[in-house]
């Protein structure tokens, strides 16, 4: 297994290929970001030497005065194998090859030369044809201006993607949903470092609790090895697979020179082995949030629902049934316990079947009573709370209060709250106590589905 510490936790970085004439060259964008915004020592490299913003530009990696943890290579494809060999010779810790123009453009010879040299030296490199690595507050090799990127805060989800564009787009969605990231890696052509290598490393990473992949294709036999490793992994694994159609498979081949394989076989094996497959990028976000906040719990998909709106309850039931979840009847004993603790004004009008409709007159105590009662019910193994913050009796502390009920009872809870800044305190009451919160009813249901798919054996 490769040692990825030099790539994912670098202290010194050399950016090879900076331009003296083009400030927006990918190497320059990367160099500027690292130099101005990240806690690494960064060295520009160009065969012409000279100065860049009064900093010495080194002609070769051999001239850099400090040991280099990571080289970021953004030079013409024809030059890259020689640059990589020079990095190996001068004991660089690893490399991210941003440059394109390799196997995806018919130049397999260049790619094979790089791989041969790296394998012999046990030298890890990411790419080529990729964006590289993003670790919040530590490193960013994306050749995209920092002011144009939307990036999530530090968290415990690792996201590995063959596509740089998909990775960046997912980071936007993660940030919007409040899902934190431990590391994001765009592996591009994955000439050397592949999904399985990173899965093995991230399983041991103390900062990562969920490992998510956007996968376009595998080499022959590689898919089987990946699924077996994901099944054995102690952490939840989420997969979004591209190339599901024949046309999509052809697009995969031209994008990163991967073989998409038989999607139906791959998908059925994922389901059989308890690996969560997201159907699209929105499902991936919901799955990652749920699995990153909730410990694995034996969820079979019997859902209890609490709401203040009958319409929202109906929509959530329909969404559960579409996803293969059930919404069972609640026993009279549990309903009596809940009824006993409801407000006097709510008791005669609340519907205590499943969904439990507390009506728009409910207050915090009523929600606590309903969630506490459902947590004691053997009929359900998970709870969805549908909160409409504009209900007059609900306070901003309700999220924290219901989270404490969840912590005492142990049964998985998911909340729906409209993601509006005005309701931030309510949302944070859940999130800070590790209860996942969705901005949609469908998303909340997807979170329960993720727990069902990844239930422990």
Q: Which residue would you say has higher pLDDT here, 290 or 419?
A: 290
Given 293, 315, 343, which residue is the final one in a domain? Answer: 293
Domain count, the chain: 3
Total residues found in the chain within this entry? 457
How large a percentage of the chain has pLDDT more than 90? 80
User: 315: domain CATH number?
Assistant: 3.40.50.261
Query: Does 281 share its domain with 301?
Result: no
Give the alpha-carbon dihedral of 72, 146, 165, 150, to 10 degrees. 140
Query: Does 311 share its domain with 434?
Result: yes
Q: What is the pLDDT of residue 261?
A: 59
Query: Does pTM surpass 0.95?
Result: no
pLDDT in tens, 53-69: 889 999 999 999 999 99
Question: How would you classify the pairing of strands 94-97 and 139-140?
Answer: unpaired
Decide if 163 contacts 214 (C-beta within 8 A).
Answer: yes
Query: Does 120 share its domain with 167?
Result: no
Average pLDDT of the residues in 253-269 = 66
Decide if 384 contacts 412 (C-beta within 8 A).
Answer: no
Q: What is the pLDDT of residue 422?
A: 84
Mean pLDDT over the full length of the chain: 92
Q: Is residue 137 part of a domain?
A: no
Q: Tell me the chain's radius of gyration from C-alpha atoms.
A: 25
Query: Does 288 share its domain with 305?
Result: no
Query: Does 259 share its domain with 212?
Result: yes
Query: Does 352 share its domain with 282?
Result: no
Query: Does 419 share its domain with 320?
Result: yes
Q: What is the pLDDT of residue 249?
A: 45
Q: Record the tokens describing residue 91, joined without a space.
A: 């004991």
Which residues pair with residue 214 across a beta bridge? Answer: 161, 240
Query: Does 263 share its domain with 203?
Result: yes
Q: What's the sign of the alpha-carbon dihedral 275, 279, 282, 283?
A: negative
Q: CA separation (Å) from 93 to 37, 68, 114, 326?
A: 22, 7, 15, 51
Query: Does 175 share its domain with 239?
Result: yes
Query: Does 197 share its domain with 227?
Result: yes
pLDDT in tens, 360-391: 999 999 999 999 999 999 999 999 999 998 88
Q: What is the pLDDT of residue 390?
A: 86
Decide if 60 contacts 86 (C-beta within 8 A).
Answer: yes
Q: Is residue 131 part of a domain?
A: no
Decide if 332 contacts 290 (C-beta within 8 A).
Answer: no
Q: Is residue 11 part of a domain?
A: yes
Q: Is residue 144 part of a domain?
A: no
pLDDT in tens, 208-260: 999 999 999 898 889 999 999 999 999 999 999 987 744 544 444 444 445 45
Q: Is the pLDDT of residue 134 over 80?
A: yes
Q: Is residue 365 part of a domain?
A: yes
Q: Which residue would you say has higher pLDDT here, 95 or 257?
A: 95
Structural domain containing residue 305: 297-453
Q: Is the pLDDT of residue 456 over 60?
A: no
Decide if 55 contacts 44 (C-beta within 8 A).
Answer: yes
Give the alpha-carbon dihedral of 58, 63, 65, 68, to 10 degrees. 90
Query: Does 67 share its domain with 163?
Result: no
In the block, tokens 């030369």 appear at: 113
Query: Does 237 share its domain with 269?
Result: yes
Q: How many CA atoms lie within 13 A of 252 on its CB side?
A: 23
Q: Is residue 42 part of a domain?
A: yes
Q: Is residue 132 part of a domain?
A: no
User: 10: domain CATH number?
Assistant: 3.40.50.720
Question: How would you classify the pairing of strands 276-278 and 237-241?
Answer: parallel
Q: Is residue 198 part of a domain?
A: yes
């Amino acid at each position: 297994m490769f040692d990825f510490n030099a790539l994912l936790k670098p202290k010194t970085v050399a950016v090879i290929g900076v331009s003296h004439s083009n400030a927006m060259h990918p190497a320059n964008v990367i160099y500027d970001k690292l130099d101005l915004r990240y806690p690494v020592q960064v060295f520009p490299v160009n065969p012409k030497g000279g100065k860049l913003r009064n900093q010495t530009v080194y002609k070769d990696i051999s001239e850099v005065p400090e040991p280099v943890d990571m080289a970021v290579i953004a030079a013409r494809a024809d030059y890259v194998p020689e640059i990589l060999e020079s990095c190996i010779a001068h004991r660089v810790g690893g490399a991210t090859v941003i440059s394109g123009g390799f196997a995806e453009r018919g130049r397999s010879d260049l790619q094979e030369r790089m791989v041969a040299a790296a394998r012999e030296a046990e030298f890890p490199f990411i790419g080529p044809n990729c964006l590289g690595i993003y670790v919040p507050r530590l490193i960013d090799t994306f050749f995209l201006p920092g002011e144009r990127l939307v990036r999530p805060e530090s968290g415990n989800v690792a996201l590995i993607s063959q596509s740089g564009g998909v990775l960046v787009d997912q980071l936007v969605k993660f940030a919007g949903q409040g899902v934190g990231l431990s590391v994001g890696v765009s592996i591009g052509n994955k000439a050397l470092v592949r999904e399985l290598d990173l899965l093995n490393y991230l399983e041991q990473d103390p900062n990562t609790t969920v490992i998510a992949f956007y996968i376009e294709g595998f080499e022959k036999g590689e898919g089987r090895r990946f699924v077996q490793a994901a099944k054995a992994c102690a952490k939840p694994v989420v997969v979004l697979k591209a190339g599901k159609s024949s046309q999509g498979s052809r697009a995969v081949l031209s994008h990163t020179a991967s073989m998409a394989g038989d999607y139906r076989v791959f998908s059925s094996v994922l389901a059989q082995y308890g690996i969560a497959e997201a159907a699209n990028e929105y499902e991936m976000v919901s799955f990652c949030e749920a699995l990153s906040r909730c410990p694995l719990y034996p969820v079979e998909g019997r859902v209890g629902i609490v709401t203040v709106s009958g319409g929202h309850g109906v929509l959530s039931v329909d969404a559960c049934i579409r996803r293969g979840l059930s919404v069972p009847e609640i026993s009279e004993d549990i309903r009596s316990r809940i009824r006993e603790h409801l407000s006097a004004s709510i008791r005669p009008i609340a519907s205590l079947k499943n969904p439990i409709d507390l009506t728009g007159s409910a207050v915090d105590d009523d929600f606590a009573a309903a969630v506490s009662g459902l947590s004691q019910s053997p009929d359900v193994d998970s709870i969805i709370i549908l909160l409409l913050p504009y209900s007059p009796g609900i306070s901003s502390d309700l999220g924290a209060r219901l989270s404490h009920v969840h912590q005492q009872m142990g049964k998985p809870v998911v909340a729906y709250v409209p993601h509006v800044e005005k309701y931030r305190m309510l949302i944070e009451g859940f999130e800070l106590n590790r209860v996942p919160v969705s901005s949609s009813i469908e998303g909340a249901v997807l979170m329960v589905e993720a727990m069902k798919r990844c239930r422990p054996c």
